[in-house]
Amino acid sequence: MTQIKLNDTYTDVRGGGYGSRAWIARITGTDPKFGLRREFCERDKTGLSRSGASGVIKFRVSQPGVYEFRDFCVGSTARNWNWSGFIVLNADGTVEKITKTRAEELMALQAH
């Protein structure tokens, strides 16, 4: 199971490592080189097997805002796939999936 919420974000690692390279970062503005400026969230791998090919990775996501995430595992072992995208985590606990274009628009508005 995979979940992205304030103070409760994690991804399973399954099927030989799906999800093992997962990361999530808070978008804090624009960047001339990378397009978006990111603050990577701390990751806790203590829930992984010794090989790192199965288990759970937890992330410290404690502030509302716009986030980018990559390679979160979704599915059962037979049908795993990696999920990536952009999301807004609101202070009231609601979650909104957005496009990269929308994330860029929100950061441009924040800059003004």
User: Looking at the predicted structure, is the pLDDT value of residue 91 above 70?
Assistant: yes
Question: Model-level pTM?
Answer: 0.91
pLDDT tens per residue, range 31-89: 889 889 999 999 999 999 888 888 999 999 999 999 999 999 887 656 667 889 999 99
Residue 34 belongs to what domain range? Answer: 2-111
Q: Classify each residue of 54-76 as buried b or exposed e, where b means 16 or more C-beta atoms within 10 Å of its C-beta.
A: bbbbbbebeeebbbbbebbbbbe
- The pLDDT, as a whole number, for residue 93 is 94
Total number of domains in the chain = 1
Distances (CA, A) of 92 to 4, 6, 51, 63, 69: 14, 9, 38, 11, 20
Specify which residues 96 forms β-bridges with.
88
- The pLDDT, as a whole number, for residue 80 is 67
